[in-house]
């Protein structure tokens, strides 16, 4: 029973850190743009897509959970190594996800261009579809790669500081 309570506490701390980070990111986005939180949420849904955001959130949660486990002073060295590896793999998964969605968006754009009949009347609609697909492609990379680098840095620096102690 004690192990279950500890696991729930660790998961709760990880969720709290993740949600706190989301609030800070939204505050920075609202402060640096003319958008409010609803506009930012709509943009994320429209440009990035629900699936990308959900998968990204899951991988971030795993990395943050691993970070919380690394911060646990009572954890054994074997446990620390396991959670460090899990966290780094989740951070690398963010990179893989971002690049996969980049290629997916480019493929959708090229596919929509290949299937379209290009005439002066259809050019506007084709370019609009192509631009939307390329926006998905490149924004997933713009979001995913820095997030991945930040998660890796957080995990590796925390592990290095733990090793110094």
pLDDT value at 96 more than 90: yes
Cα–Cα distance for residue pair 154/49, rounded to 1 Å: 26
pLDDT value at 74 more than 90: no
pLDDT band for position 34 (50/70/90)?
A: confident
Cα–Cα distance for residue pair 81/66, rounded to 1 Å: 10
Range of the domain at 17: 2-164
pLDDT recorded at residue 150: 96
Model confidence, pTM: 0.86
How many domains does the chain contain in total? 1
77-116 burial code (b ≥16 CB/10 A, e <16): eeebeebbebbbebbebbbebbbebbebbeebbeebeeee
């Amino acid at each position: 029973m004690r192990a279950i309570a500890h696991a729930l506490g660790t998961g709760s701390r990880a969720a709290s850190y993740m949600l706190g980070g989301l609030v800070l990111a939204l505050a920075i986005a609202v402060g640096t743009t003319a958008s409010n939180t609803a506009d930012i949420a709509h943009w994320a849904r429209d440009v990035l897509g629900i699936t990308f955001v959900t998968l990204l959130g899951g991988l971030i949660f795993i990395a943050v959970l691993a970070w919380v486990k690394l911060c646990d002073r009572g954890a054994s060295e074997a446990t620390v190594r396991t959670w460090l590896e899990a966290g780094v793999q989740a951070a690398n998964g963010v990179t893989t996800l971002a690049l996969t969605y980049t290629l997916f968006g480019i493929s959708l754009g090229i596919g929509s261009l290949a299937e379209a009949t290009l005439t002066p009347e259809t050019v506007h609609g084709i370019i609009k579809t192509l631009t939307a697909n390329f926006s998905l492609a490149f924004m997933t990379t713009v979001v995913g790669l820095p997030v991945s680098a930040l998660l890796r840095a957080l995990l590796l620096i925390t592990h290095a500081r733990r090793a110094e102690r």
